[in-house]
Structure 1
């Protein structure tokens, strides 16, 4: 876990950028052991070595920090996907690679699952707009990385594909993280174990099904 940092007040743009980077890195470190839903601004501020009010000098809310981190983690996933897809031009191996590179990034998955219902709240219009612009850039890149390999060039198909990927990642992650009680129920009741969601398998099968649909059908635009 990141150690508290002795801060002096940032007085230049470079210093403010450095403080923001430290806050983001500390958040990333904390999320290796804490779920997004459980991470508090107080815990983050204490770990960084700042009063909560001082953290808010650099980010307007906990959600603003996590949205920026989500954008970073999304871009990092796309970097890995770009490399892993080299030479691959058919549905099944593309789905395999997507599922593998996603499964390797639990923090990305947790942020994706939390984005629409939690992280997009408690932010200003300015922060929301900046996040959405970054999200559009990530969406365009994801579509460009995958769809041309399958001969798909429809804009509407790209929208459906990217939206589907985000819903699959967030939904599968949320359902693959049972509570302590639910995990115990699966363990104690063999007839229920088949209902426990396996992250890698579910991602692969749902992504492959999405890709089959995108190739077979061009979505209606209205």
Structure 2
């Protein structure tokens, strides 16, 4: 990461690069820490900008992580999907390969969408809908899902990611006590749980 003294980005290209550096720093911190423990000051230092400069790109920590979420979603929308097998299997593997996106999704509604004004909330939801529409179009084209089915399936996929991630990430003390029988029944592996959920969702369409 960039740790050189701050130089203000002036051209559109420089600003885009600086924004990407900030998002990369946020992703690095989020891979190791809970959202609440991450400070904008630390992200600014890691990305080589002042905290005041960071606020010119993102007005709040929530706005920054929503931008990271959309960046991850954009990458997922553009990623290749397997052409063989059902839609639920393709989407499952797409998500399992992206733990950062899944973890961000798990706190999307309870944390990241808070501390926004109405304009910011509308802008985010419009961007989210646009991404969902693109992915739904791919499901229609590649897996013969109808328009209503595709978008409904994706909305339910989002809900499944939230639930499966939450139950598969126990607190360390809980993870320790559920290692052995009979409490091992509470162990949940994210990938297995998500595949089971999405297979059932598609069957119910």
Q: What TM-score results when the alignment is normalised by the length of structure 2?
A: 0.88
Q: 1:185 aligns with which of 144, 166, 177?
A: 177
The aligned residue for residue 135 of structure 2 is 142
DSSP 3-state at the match of 2:169 = coil
The aligned residue for residue 194 of structure 1 is 185
Looking at structure 1, the residues matched to 194 and 183 of structure 2 have their Cα atoms a distance apart, in angstroms, of: 20
DSSP 3-state at the match of 2:178 = helix
Matches within 5 A, 1:83-98: 83-86=80-83, 88=84, 90-91=85-86, 94-98=87-91
Unaligned runs of 5+ in 1: 215-222
CA distance 1:123–1:4, change in 2 (3 Å) = farther
Looking at structure 2, the residues matched to 17 and 76 of structure 1 have their Cα atoms a distance apart, in angstroms, of: 16
Deviations 1:184-222 (A, max 9, x none): 1112x41111211111100101001111111xxxxxxxx
Pairwise CA distance, 1:148: 4.7
Pairwise CA distance, 1:71: 0.8
Matches within 5 A, 1:19-168: 19-80=18-79, 83-86=80-83, 88=84, 90-91=85-86, 94-155=87-148, 157-168=149-160
Tell me how large the CA RMSD over aligned residues is. 2.1
CA distance 1:205–1:147, change in 2 (3 Å) = farther
The aligned residue for residue 168 of structure 2 is 176
Looking at structure 2, the residues matched to 22 and 68 of structure 1 have their Cα atoms a distance apart, in angstroms, of: 12
DSSP 3-state at the match of 1:197 = coil
Looking at structure 2, the residues matched to 150 and 27 of structure 1 have their Cα atoms a distance apart, in angstroms, of: 35
Check whether the contact 2:6–2:50 (CA below 8 A) recurs between aligned residues: no
Looking at structure 2, the residues matched to 136 and 66 of structure 1 have their Cα atoms a distance apart, in angstroms, of: 17
Deviations 1:50-109 (A, max 9, x none): 3323311211011111111111111212222xx2322x2x53xx3233222211211010
Looking at structure 1, the residues matched to 57 and 147 of structure 2 have their Cα atoms a distance apart, in angstroms, of: 40
DSSP 3-state at the match of 1:190 = coil
Check whether the contact 2:25–2:47 (CA below 8 A) recurs between aligned residues: yes
Check whether the contact 2:139–2:150 (CA below 8 A) recurs between aligned residues: no
The aligned residue for residue 217 of structure 1 is none
Q: What TM-score results when the alignment is normalised by the length of structure 1?
A: 0.82
